[in-house]
Amino acid sequence: MPVVTLPDGSHRSFAQPVTVHDVAADIGAGLAKAALAGKVDGS
C-alpha cells in the first residue's frame, strides 16, 4: 500500500499504486489541474 508524506508532515495512504496526478487529485481538484511535477523518493 503506497503511503505519501506531504510537506506538512501529513500522510495519505492508497490501496493500489498511484500516479503523482492521482495524489494531487486526492488533495484537491485545483492542485490536480495546476501541478506540473512531483518529487518521488526525494528525486
Give per-residue pLDDT as tens, 5-43: 999 999 999 999 999 999 999 999 999 999 888 888 887
Residue type, 4: V
The three cell numbers locating residue 30: 485545483
User: Per the domain annotation, does 28 fall within a domain?
Assistant: yes
- So what's the pLDDT on residue 9? 95
The answer to whether residue 10 is domain-embedded is yes
Q: Are 28 and 20 in contact (CB under 8 A)?
A: no
Q: What's this model's pTM, rounded to 2 decimal places?
A: 0.76
**pLDDT confidence of residue 39:** 86
The 10s digit of each residue's pLDDT in 2-12 is: 999 999 999 99
Q: Which residues of 17-38 are buried (b: 16+ CB within 10 A; e: fewer)?
A: eeeeeebbbeeeeeeeeeeeee
Range of the domain at 18: 3-34
Q: Is residue 41 part of a domain?
A: no
Q: Say what the pLDDT of residue 36 is.
A: 86
Determine the pLDDT at residue 19: 93
Q: Classify residue 19: in a domain, yes or no.
A: yes
Q: How many domains are contained in the chain?
A: 1
